[in-house]
Amino acid sequence: MRILIRTSKWAIWARRFGSLALPLTIIPVLLHREQLITSADFTVVEAVAAGVAALAVFLALGAFGRLWITGDQGWSKAGWGLFFGIVCLLPFAYLGYEAMRYPMVDEVTTDSADPLPLVSPVRVAPTGSPLRDEIAAIFPNAQTRSYPVDATEMFAIVDGLVEARGWDVRTRRAPPTALDIGQINAIAVTLFGWRDEVAIRVAGTALGSVIDMRSVPLGGFHDFGENGKRIEEFLVALDQKITLTLRDAPQAAAAPDTEAPPLPEGDDAE
């Protein structure tokens, strides 16, 4: 007599939902980064993907319980469903963790008294004093910088760092002289495709130059700390670049003159 061993339907549906959640999670990110879908549509699709992934995990866990009791087939299907579901839920867990770590902000700036102008048509609500203090405590390196480097040279260094990060520059206004002001406005894209505008100001002074930054989210209900981290990372990189520049400058100035001295004039020059 042949004994029929069934395949658990829970396991089958766990793998099906897990297989559906994977492209439903990844493809919208690619479309969002390329601006083929709006941020609002991206949020809706990803919410659906999270629900499908959670359902896959639930079905997989239920399948494991039923398989243990009934002895049916489907362990591998349930395993794949659980794996796909967990993989798809990891980005949401990361974003949830970042949302708890960082406050919800409309901007991060090093100069709240004179915010840098933006080129994007976005309205930014003024940041209250308590929130500014919280931002300063969380991002201690997001502060105005002063360097003993003239504004024209400093602007070239800043421009190079912006280009190295692949930001989409919208305006670039170099300072005409060492005592003038220059500014760069660029669009930075986050890992998940949200866009932020970054403004960098280089102001020349008698002692060198002063650098201020402003980073503003252009969409989404939470920036997950991206703007503050971006300013800190950029300014720390700028600190390191200027340190190397100032360290190498005296060596270049102190390099020995390799040209031969001129011969004295007169009959004795032979």
pLDDT score, position 140? 94
pLDDT score, position 182? 96
* Helix 39-70, helix 9-33: angle, nearest 10: 160
108-250 is classed in which CATH architecture? 2-Layer Sandwich (3.30)
pLDDT score, position 119? 94
The Cα-based distances of 167 to 73, 76, 131 in angstroms read: 52, 44, 27
Domain residue ranges in the chain: 9-101, 108-250
List per-residue pLDDT tens for the chain, 270 residues long. 455 567 788 899 999 999 999 999 999 999 999 999 999 999 999 999 999 999 999 999 999 988 888 877 889 999 999 999 999 999 999 999 999 999 999 899 999 899 899 999 888 888 889 999 999 999 999 999 999 999 999 999 999 999 999 999 999 999 999 999 999 999 999 999 999 999 999 999 999 999 999 999 998 678 999 999 999 999 999 999 999 988 877 654 444 444 444 544 544 443
pLDDT score, position 44? 94
Q: Which two tokens stand for residue 239?
A: 């600190």
Residues near 155 by Cβ (< 8 Å), separated by ≥ 6? 174, 175, 182, 202
Could you tell me which of 155, 160, 187 has the C-alpha nearest to residue 173? Answer: 155
